[in-house]
Amino acid sequence: MSLPRTASQTVGPYYTLGLCRRPENELADRNEPGAVQLIGQLYDGQAAPINDGLIEVWDPVGERWGRSGTDADGRFSFVVTKPAALAGQAPRLDVYVFARGLLRHQLTRVYFPDEAEANAADPVLSSLGETERATLVAEQEDGALRWDIRMQGERETVFFEH
Amino acid sequence: MSEYAVDAPTVLPDDPSFGPEVQIDYPGYRSTQWRAPKRKLASLPEEFHDLAGPVFGEDVIEEHDHDLTHGHPGEPLGERIIVSGTLMDEEGRPQSGALIEIWQANACGRYHHVVDQHPAPLDPNFSGGGRCLTDSEGRYRFVTIKPGAYPWGNHENAWRPAHIHFSIFGRQFVQRLVTQMYFPGDPLFAYDPIFTSVRDPKSRELLIARFDLEATQPEWALAYDWDIVLGRGGNGATPMENPQ
């Protein structure tokens, strides 16, 4: 038996009523060794911040999950630790992007800037061109990790089939 | 010809080859223009699709979270309803212990949200958010009121059909689903580009709940039945090559 799956529809602009009833953006305790802020901005194809987006982050190894709405400047913010690496892969977090105007959520991932060697050997990262690859690697910024998401444009973030 | 014709939604012809996909760059829904990714989606190794997703326990649920009519000084205005159904995978297997979160407008079509400026009254007895975990048979159940239709500015005289937003976490990470449940017989379906972004009419129909007289509670609430099927993937941009 194979049933047709239920189709996706946009989260729309009012998702906070159901999905942001309490803060859930800390995958790790701030005082935990290795805990670091992951911050960034979500942009549309006109380089305007998306102020009604929702970002969900999943550490598939440590099984830690969190989500953050975006603010007026499109900013999101998490506290994370670097996940353990799966065999033959660089450590990464899996990320879903939801927003008004997205009829289905989009899948991407964020890699860590201090893992140059593992990143170079990662089968997914190394299957991408240099410009594309760069959209998936966070940068160090004042002790935090900075990672912007661009839905469109020259530096459009790489999104994956899912 | 209407003076608003230029702003009228572009409703593309039905296309069963899309199956349950949405067309993510659906031109009738204007906000997709600068937000839907333009590039071809990249591929991930097949084993990615087997990765487990987050699991939530009873600790995220409070006693009355499934009852949106509860928690205020009085009863909300509107038609009290019960919305229930079974969460399944594509093989028809019930999915237990899954977190389902919902949100909706009040009976007048107004969200309890600062961005919503529709000049319809707010209801001090309705906030419009709820959640529950599916039981051992994959069943979920909410008590709420029927939401109203509301205008949304996508095009001239644009109105959303009444709907309830649903967010569901499956066992696999890739089963994540956010969607909307609609009510039978709504006259706005044909004019709503969010609804028609699902190009296959059969898949579209599956977003519409069924009125359930048996589950309707006499003297208290009408019941609607809506099953949800979690799949694995489909990016929504490209019709299937070999529609079955």
Q: Which is the catalytic residue, given B26, B29, B111, B224?
A: B111
Q: Do B41 and A161 touch (CB under 8 A)?
A: yes
The mean per-residue pLDDT over the stretch A3-22 comes to 96
Q: How far is CA A120 from the centre of its chain?
A: 20
- Residue pointed to by tokens 């890739």: B174
What values do phi and psi take at A2, rounded to 5? -135, 115
| Radius of gyration in angstroms for the set of CA atoms belonging to chain B, rounded to a whole number | 19
- pLDDT in the model for residue B10: 77
Which residue type occupies B53? G
**Residue of chain B nearest A46, judged by CA positions:** B34
**Chain A residues inside the 8 Å CB shell of B26:** 103
Cβ A138 vs Cβ A145: under 8 Å: yes
- Interface predicted TM-score (ipTM) of this complex, two decimals: 0.97
The mean per-residue pLDDT over the stretch B160-185 comes to 97
**Chain B residues inside the 8 Å CB shell of A99:** 35
Strands B80-89 and B222-225: parallel
Which residue type occupies A148? D
The mean per-residue pLDDT over the stretch A88-116 comes to 98
The mean per-residue pLDDT over the stretch B34-60 comes to 94
- pLDDT in the model for residue B233: 60
Q: What is the per-residue pLDDT across B91-133, written as a single tens digit (0 to 9) for each?
A: 999 999 999 999 999 999 999 999 999 999 999 999 999 999 9
- Average pLDDT value for chain B: 92
For residue B94, which of B107, B103, B85 has the smallest C-alpha distance? B85
On the question of pLDDT at B185 being above 70, the answer is yes
Residue in A1, A2, A11, A14 to test binding to B, most B beta-carbons within 10 Å = A14
Residue B165 among the catalytic residues: yes
On the question of pLDDT at B17 being above 70, the answer is yes
Q: What is the per-residue pLDDT across A109-134, written as a single tens digit (0 to 9) for each?
A: 999 999 999 999 999 999 999 999 99
Residue B111 among the catalytic residues: yes
Residue B163 among the catalytic residues: yes
- pLDDT in the model for residue B11: 84
CB pairs under 8 A between A and B: 200
Question: The pTM is what?
Answer: 0.95
For residue B143, which of B218, B72, B69, B60 has the smallest C-alpha distance? B69
- pLDDT in the model for residue B232: 76
- With H, G, I as helix, E, B as strand and everything else as coil, classify residue B163: strand
On the question of pLDDT at B8 being above 90, the answer is no
Q: Do A162 and B49 touch (CB under 8 A)?
A: yes
- pLDDT in the model for residue B4: 43
Q: Which is the catalytic residue, given B26, B29, B140, B150?
A: B150
